[in-house]
Amino acid sequence: MVGWAGGLVAAETGPARPKQDAKGNPIRYAATGHASNYDETKVGRYVLPDPLVLANGRPVRDAATWSNVRRPELIAVYEREIFGAVPAGAPSVRAEVVATEADALGGKAVRKQVVFHFGAGERAVALNVSLYVPAKAAKPAPVVLQLLFSNPPGIPQLAKMPFNDAVPVEDIVGRGYAYAAFRYSEAQGDHAKTSEGGVQALAYGPGQTRPAAGEWGTMAVWAWMASRVLDYLETEPTVDAKRVALVGHSRLGKTALWAGARDPRFALVFASCAGEMGASLARRDYGESVDDVAANFPWWLVATFPKYAGRWNELPGDSHTVIALNAPRPVFVTGGTEDQWADPHGEFLALVAAGPVYRLLGQKDVGATVLPALDVPLISGSLGFLYHTGKHVITAGDWRAFFEFTGRHFGVTGR
Ligand code: GCU
C-alpha cells in the first residue's frame, strides 16, 4: 500500500529531476512549482495587454495621444512595478577625459578614455568609458554605444571576466561609426548584495540601506549610466549624439531596451538574445520565466517584482510594451537556435505585437507574423529581427544585419 508517507518517501528517493531536456535546454524548477517548458504545444493560451488602450479603457487613436498620454502612463507603471524609478537623490555626475590616444587602432581612430565620477568625496564611484572616433571623419560620426560584460577595448581586462565580449571595434570604426563602451558592473555590481554599494547606495538618505519601494533595480541603474554617457556624447563635437545606437546582449539587451524606453535620445536599440524581462514575451510559457528571474535575479528589478512569480498575466505590460516604448525609433532583436532559454520565438512575437504602435507612429513594422527562416534578417522596417543558427552570443551575421539596419536609419552607407 502506498499511503501519504509512502508517496513522500518515493518523492524524496525518486529519480533526480533532470537539469536539461533532451536537446540540452536548461530546466529550472521555480518555487512556484513551475518547470521550464520548451514544447510549443504546451505554451498555452495567453492574452497580451493592448498597448493602444489607455488605463481608463479608451483607445489610443493618434500619435499625440500615444506620446502625451499613453507613453508617460506606461513609463510610470513600468517604473513603479518593474524596473524602478531614478530616485530624487541620484548622484552627481562628472565626466573627466583622462587619456587621449591619437593613433589608436593603428591610426584608424582617436581614442579617449573618459572616467565618470558618480557622487563626490570618499564614496564616489568611477565608471571607465572608452570612446573611439574614426580618425578621418569629416563630419560628426554616428555612435555605437555598447554595454559590455568585460572591460571595454583599451582598458586592461580583469583577471576573471564573467563573459568575454567579442567586440568588432575595428570593423565598427571602419564603417564610419564611433564606438563607445563600458563594463556594466563597474559602478553597480550584479549580485545579491549589490545594493550595499555602487550608484544605488550613493542615492540613499540617512538610515537607508536599500532602494525604497518603486526605486531603481540594477537594470535601471545600468540604463541610467548609459544615459549619462549619452549626456557626455552630446558635448563631444566629433560625434553625432542624435545618432547613437545602444547595443546590449542578454541581460544588457534587457537593459538597453529599458534605457531606450526611458530616454528618447537613444536613436536606435539593438537587443541581442535579451530573453525574459527583455525582448521575449513573459506571458508565453517557454524557456526562462518570470518565476526564474524573480528567484535568481531579484536585484535587477524593483523590490516588489517577485510578487509577479506565478502571476504573469497581472504584469502591467509585456515585452512588446517595452519595445513599443522605443517607438518610433528602430529596434533590432536577435535570438539563437541554441538559446531557447531566451525564447527567440517569443522575442519575434513581441516585435509583431509592438507593430500597431509603430504603425500608428507612421513606421513600418517587422513585416511578418510568422517566424522567419533561420539566418534571414527581417530588416526592412523599423522593427528588425534575426534568428541566427547558433548560441547565446552576438554573431558576425548579427553585426552585419545590425549595420545594414542601422545604416538605413542613420543614413550611413558603406560596406
Ligand atoms: C541568465 C539569465 C538570463 C540572462 C542571461 C545573461 O541566463 O537567466 O535572463 O539574459 O543570464 O545575461 O547572459
pLDDT digits (tens, 9 = 90+) for 384-402: 999 999 999 999 999 999 9
Counting beta carbons within 10 angstroms of the beta carbon of residue 303, is it exposed (0 to 12), middle (13 to 18) or buried (19 or more)?
A: middle
CA distances from 105 to 55, 172, 173, 174 (A): 52, 11, 9, 10
Task: State how far the Cα of 30 lies from the Cα of 308, in Å rounded to an integer.
Answer: 13
Nearest in space to 286 (alpha carbons), one of 23, 19, 35: 35
Task: State how far the Cα of 284 lies from the Cα of 37, in Å rounded to an integer.
Answer: 10
Q: What are the DSSP E strand ranges found in 277-364? A: 331-336
CATH number at 241 reads: 3.40.50.1820
* CA–centroid distance, residue 140 to ligand 1 (Å): 35
DSSP code at position 278: T
287: its cell numbers: 524557456
Cβ–ligand 1 contact at 185 (below 6 Å): no
The yes-or-no verdict on residue 73 having pLDDT over 80 is yes
Q: What is the mean pLDDT of residues 56-71?
A: 98
Mean pLDDT of the chain: 94
Q: What is the mean pLDDT of residues 136-146?
A: 94
Ligand 1 atom at minimal distance to the Cα of residue 277? 9
Q: What is the pLDDT of residue 123?
A: 84
Q: What is the pLDDT of residue 1?
A: 29
Residue at 120 is within a domain = no
Residue at 36 is within a domain = no
Cβ–ligand 1 contact at 165 (below 6 Å): no
- The percentage of the chain sitting over the pLDDT mark of 90, rounded to a whole number, equals 90
Query: What is the total residue count of the chain?
Result: 415
Residue at 231 is within a domain = yes
Q: What is the pLDDT of residue 6?
A: 31
Cβ–ligand 1 contact at 288 (below 6 Å): yes
pLDDT band at 8 (very low <50, low <70, confident <90, very high): very low
Task: State how far the Cα of 115 lies from the Cα of 122, in Å rounded to an integer.
Answer: 16
Cβ–ligand 1 contact at 251 (below 6 Å): yes
Residue at 67 is within a domain = no
Q: What is the pLDDT of residue 21?
A: 95
Task: State how far the Cα of 187 lies from the Cα of 27, in Å rounded to an integer.
Answer: 32
C-alpha dihedral over 388, 230, 116, 182, to 10 degrees? 10
Residue 274 · residue 258 · CB < 8 Å: no
pLDDT band at 403 (very low <50, low <70, confident <90, very high): very high
* CA–centroid distance, residue 54 to ligand 1 (Å): 32
Task: State how far the Cα of 25 lies from the Cα of 76, in Å rounded to an integer.
Answer: 36
Residue at 128 is within a domain = no
Task: State how far the Cα of 73 lies from the Cα of 253, in Å rounded to an integer.
Answer: 23
pLDDT digits (tens, 9 = 90+) for 167-212: 999 999 999 999 999 999 999 999 999 999 999 999 999 999 999 9
164: its cell numbers: 568575454
Residue at 167 is within a domain = yes
Nearest in space to 229 (alpha carbons), one of 113, 95, 111, 133: 95
pTM above 0.85, yes or no: yes
- Helix or strand (DSSP H, E) at 11: helix 4-13
Residue at 122 is within a domain = no
How many domains would you assign to the chain?
Answer: 1
pLDDT band at 410 (very low <50, low <70, confident <90, very high): very high
C-alpha dihedral over 334, 335, 336, 338, to 10 degrees? 160
Q: What is the pLDDT of residue 414?
A: 65
Number of Cβ within 10 Å of residue 47's Cβ equals 8
Q: What is the mean pLDDT of residues 86-95?
A: 97
Count Cα atoms within 13 angstroms, Cβ side, for 43.
Answer: 17
Catalytic residues: 250, 392
* CA–centroid distance, residue 412 to ligand 1 (Å): 32
Q: Is 157 left (phi over 0), alpha (psi -120 to 50) or beta?
A: beta
The yes-or-no verdict on residue 164 having pLDDT over 90 is no
> DSSP H helical segments within 168-289, as ranges?
169-174, 198-202, 218-233, 251-262
Q: What is the pLDDT of residue 7?
A: 31
Task: Write out the residue range of the structural domain in which residue 326 sits.
Answer: 76-89+136-410
Q: What is the pLDDT of residue 154?
A: 92
Q: What is the pLDDT of residue 5?
A: 33
Strand pairing class (268-272; 239-249): parallel
